[in-house]
Amino acid sequence: MTDPFFPITIGNLHASNRIIRSATNDHLGNTDGTVSDAQIDMYDALASNCVGTIITGHISVDPDPANRADIAQLCIGDDRFIDGLSRIPRKNRQYGALSVAQISHAGPRGLNPIDFNELFTGDMERITQWFIDAAVRAQKAGFDAVQIHAAHWYLLASI
């Protein structure tokens, strides 16, 4: 068995070890969808304690923060969120940890539920573009990778 504290390289990503913090909703975001100081403190605790790769909780791709899964969920649906989100990879990088942004759409589990069966082709194309734009914003914010959330009956799991 490989030592979990041994570095690993996957593609062009180099993790200092094999310890990964899986995505969990921390319920610490600001109510406007921005990163809070409490979240930065949490990432500081994770990265400073040798977590080599840290995956955020799911971040909403919908530009309207009112369509998040809950009032404390982060948003990446508009360029105005990039600067705040960049605080996460900057903090993790201080300790050599990789940062992965998990992106999602709440769909039927959102504050304003959206039923996939009621979406038209144009709606689906718009949501697809939101995911693409969110991935680009994550890169601009300094994240090393993106993970797409497609579980727990959020939009992509409700298809």
Catalytic residue among 127, 131, 154, 155: 154
**Residue 154 among the catalytic residues:** yes
Under 8 Å CB-to-CB from 120, ≥6 apart: which residues? none
Q: State whether the Cα torsion 40-42-44-46 is positive or negative.
A: negative
User: CA 156, 147, 151 angle in degrees (round to 5)?
Assistant: 35
Residue indicated by tokens 């689906």: 124
List the catalytic residues: 154
